[in-house]
Structure 1
Amino acid sequence: MASKRKPIIFFLLTALLLTVPGQSTAQSFTSVVISQKGLHFVKDLLVTKAISSIIPLELPQIQKSVKIPFLGSVRMVLSNITIQGIDVGSSFVKPGDTGIVIVASETTCNLSMNWHYSYNTWLFPVSVSDKGSASISVEGMEVGLTLGLEVQEGTLKLSLLDCGCLVKRIFIKLDGGASWLYQGMIDAFEEEIVSAVENAIVNKLKEGILKLDLYLQSLPKEIPVDDNASLNVTFANEPLLCNSSIGFEINGLFTPRKRVQVPKYGETDSESLVSCLDSSKMLEISLHEAVFNSASALYYNADFMQWVVDKIPDQSLLNTAGWRFFIPQLYRKYPNDDMNLNISLSSAPAIVISEHGFDATVFADLIIDVLEAGQTIPVACISLVIRGTGLAKISGNNLTGIAELNDFTMSLKWSNIGKLRLHLIQPFIWILLQTVFLPYANAILGTGFPLPIIHGFALQNAELICSNSRITVCGDVQYT
Structure 2
Amino acid sequence: MHFSTSHQFKAKVEIMFVWFFWSLLTLPEATGTNAGVNVKLTQKGLEYGRQIGIASIQQKLRTIHVPDISGTERVDPIGKVQYSFTGMQIVNLGLPQSSLGLVPGTGVSLSIDNAFISLHGNWRVKYLRIIKDSGSFDLAVSELSISTTIAVMSDDTGRPSVSMTNCAATVGRVSIKFHGGASWLYNLFSSFINKALRDALQKQICPLVADSIADMNPHLKTLNVLARVDKYAEIEYSMVASPAISSTSIDLGLKGEFYNIGQHKEPPFSPTPFSLPSEDTSMLYIGVSAFTANSAGFVYHSAGALSLNITDDMIPSGSPLRLNTGTFGVFIPQIAKMYPGLMMQLLVKTEKEPILTFESNNVTVQASSTVTAYAIQPNSTLSPLFVLNLGGSVSARVYVTELKLAGAVTLNEIYMSLAKSYVGPFQVTSLDNIFKMILKVTVIPKVNARLEEGYPLPAIGKMQLVNTQLQVLKDYLLIGTDVQFKG
Alignment TM-score > 0.5, same fold: yes
What amino acid is aligned across from residue 50 of structure 1 in structure 2?
S
> Residue in 2 aligned with 1:111?
119
TM-aligned CA distance change 1:20 to 1:190, over 3 Å: closer
- In 2, the alpha carbon distance for the partners of 1:410 and 1:8 equals 59
Q: Which residue of the other structure, out of 248, 251, 254, is the alignment partner of 2:255? A: 251
- Report the equivalent of 2:4: none
* Match of residue 380, structure 2, among 354, 359, 375: 375
Does 2:66 match 1:64? no
The superposition leaves residues 136-156 of structure 1 with CA deviations (integer Å, 9 ceiling, x where unpaired) of 332222222111235577433
Equivalent in the alignment of 1:304: 305
Residues 262 and 297, structure 1, Cα contact 8 Å, conserved in 2: no
| 1:210-359 matched pairs, under 5 angstroms | 210-213=214-217, 216=220, 219-259=223-263, 261-269=265-273, 272-275=274-277, 278-310=279-311, 311-313=314-316, 314=319, 317-359=322-364
Residue deviations 1:300-341, cap 9 Å, x none? 112211112221113861222222212222222222222222
Match of 1:25 in 2: 32
Matched, 1:15 2:17: no
Q: Which residue matches 2:145? A: 142
Between Structure 1 and Structure 2, how many residues are aligned? 466
- Which runs of 5 or more residues in structure 2 are unaligned? 1-10
C-alpha deviations, 1:222-273, integer Å up to 9, x for none? 122233322211111111111111132111112232326341533532xx41
Q: Per the alignment, do residues 220 and 404 of structure 1 end up closer, same or farther by CA in structure 2, a change over 3 Å counting?
A: closer
| CA root-mean-square deviation | 2.8
Shift of 1:462: 2.2
Q: Does 1:90 align with 2:97?
A: yes
One-letter code of the match for 2:198? V
Structure 1 residues 110 and 337: alpha-carbon distance in aligned structure 2, compared to 1, 3 A threshold: farther
| 1:206 shift after superposition | 1.7
Q: Matches of 1:424 and 1:286 in 2, distance apart?
A: 43
Q: Distance in 1 between matches of 2:229 and 2:90?
A: 45
- Partner of 1:38 in structure 2? 45
Amino acid at match of 2:454: G
Deviation at 1:294, TM superposition (A): 1.0
Change over 3 Å in CA distance of 1:77–1:305 after alignment to 2 = farther
Aligned match of 1:207? 211
Greater relative contact order: 1 or 2 (C-alpha under 8 angstroms, separation 6 or more)? 2
Cα contact 1:14–1:454 (8 A) shared by 2: yes
Q: Is the 8 A contact 2:38 2:276 kept in 1?
A: no
For structure 1, list consecutive stretches of 5 or more residues without a partner in the other structure: 1-5
Q: 2:445 corresponds to which residue?
A: 439
Does the Cα contact within 8 Å between 2:111 and 2:148 map onto a contact in 1? yes
| In structure 2, distance between residues paired with 1:200 and 1:225 | 46
Amino acid of the residue matched to residue 240 of structure 1?
Answer: A
Q: Supply the distance in 1 between the matched residues of 2:281 and 2:25 (Cα, whole angstroms).
A: 18
Supply the distance in 1 between the matched residues of 2:78 and 2:269 (Cα, whole angstroms): 85
Q: Distance in 2 between matches of 1:224 and 1:214?
A: 20
2:395 match: 389
| Distance change (3 Å), C-alpha of 1:170 and 1:305 | same
- Kept in 2, the 8 Å contact 1:163–1:202? The answer is yes
Q: 1:175 Cα deviation (Å)?
A: 4.6
1: distance between equivalents of 2:332 and 2:16? Answer: 64
Residues 15-66 of structure 1 show CA distances to partners (whole Å, capped at 9, x for unaligned) of 333369998723321111011112111111111x211221540414132313
Instruction: Please say if residues 52 and 85 of structure 1, whose CA atoms lie closer than 8 Å, have aligned partners that are also in contact.
Output: no
Does 2:202 align with 1:198? yes
Q: 1:268 to 1:151 in 2, by over 3 A?
A: farther
User: What is residue 473 of structure 1 aligned with on the other side?
Assistant: 479
Change (3 A) 1:259 1:119: same
- Tell me which residue corresponds to 1:3: none
**Cα distance change, pair 190–145 in 1 and its aligned pair in 2 (3 A):** same
Q: Which range is displaced more, 356-365 or 72-81?
A: 72-81
